[in-house]
Amino acid sequence: MIKSIAIHSHKGGVGKTTIAINMAVSLAKQGKNVCLFDFDFIGPNLFTFFKDNDIKKYLNDFFWNKVPISECLINAKEIMNLDGNLYVGFANPSSDSINKFLELSSNQAMKMLTDIFQLRSVLQKEPYNIDYLILDTTPGLAIQTVNSFLVADTILFIIKFSNSDIDGTVELISGLLNSLTAEMAVVANNIPEEVILSDNELLNIEKLIIERIQTQIDTNVNFLGWLPNDHSLQLIEYNNAINRLKGCDTRRTIHTLDIPMHPITIGIGKIISKIK
């Protein structure tokens, strides 16, 4: 049975896509068959974790141009040397494609939702046999976000550690809880590295978050864990960007693939074990 997880956030830039790709790779490394979709059609970002040459067609082609899904997915198993299959579907970052989603009509959104339900069913069967479907959603609450929510078994909310994001996320979950049947869980991202050196401090943070979530929202909303920030990543990303400007076909760092012993990789592993 396929398990679908929507990775969501109240606002952009909280590390949603980074967590989505890291989770997908981690699961595929464990031999699971995973499908990862960039459903952030307004601000596509997943493609930055892959080289240009890897990407042939987009999910947009499946939804609007009737291109078979098999042509819109890449299997990253070989590229990344994974044990399980990792099928990835990208959102088209072109301005025309983004505009189309900004003007999405009710009928188009309904057609898209029907396609997603059927796609989920297709992915469960041969040749895909997908165990996990991970959806990188559009932040906030757009019509295409609702599509992701409706197909998800679990919605994982990523909180970046700032007051506005915590407050916004708490509000968002409270509002969604009455309308959705999916399980909801929270992950705290970007906890300063200095803090995680102290177990006591971490326990205090966890306690505070759980208290906030469960008293203000609902006891059924679980806190799945935290992920540290990575100061060294800034330099790596900078170098990647420079290389790209120089015309090299580069991709961004995926901790669970490139740095197996990094605290982010370990944190992702712990989160996955709780979702399973």
Partner 1 sequence: MRADNVKVYAVYIITTDGRPMLSQIFQSPADIPENTLLAALLTSLQIVTKDLMKEENTAEKFTMKGNTYHFKSFGKFFVVLVTDEETTPHMIINRIGWQFLKEFDNQINNWMGKQDDFSDFKPRLCTIISKVARIDESRSLKPAKILDPIQLYKLEKELKNTAKSLLFFKEATIHEICENIGEDELLVKENIDKLVKLGFIGYYKKNKVKYYFC
- Interface residues toward partner 1, by CB under 8 A: 106-107, 109-110, 112-114, 117-118, 121, 143-144, 146-147, 149-150, 178-181
Compare residues 94 and 121 and give the one whose CB is closer to partner 1.
121
DSSP 147-200: HHHHH-SEEEEEEESSHHHHHHHHHHHHHHHTT--SEEEEEEEEE-TTGGG-HH
Compare residues 82 and 152 and give the one whose CB is closer to partner 1.
152
| CA dihedral (217, 43, 87, 117) positive or negative | positive
Which DSSP letter does residue 141 get? Answer: S
- The edge-to-edge listing of strands for the beta sheet with 222-228 is 73-75, 86-89, 34-38, 132-136, 3-8, 154-160, 183-191, 222-228
Compare residues 53 and 181 and give the one whose CB is closer to partner 1.
181
Shortest CB 155 distance to partner 1, Å: 12
Shortest CB 111 distance to partner 1, Å: 9
Compare residues 9 and 144 and give the one whose CB is closer to partner 1.
144
Compare residues 80 and 143 and give the one whose CB is closer to partner 1.
143
Shortest CB 113 distance to partner 1, Å: 5
Shortest CB 144 distance to partner 1, Å: 8
Rounded Cα distance between 92 and 154, Å, is 25
Phi, psi of 274 (to 5 degrees): -80, -30
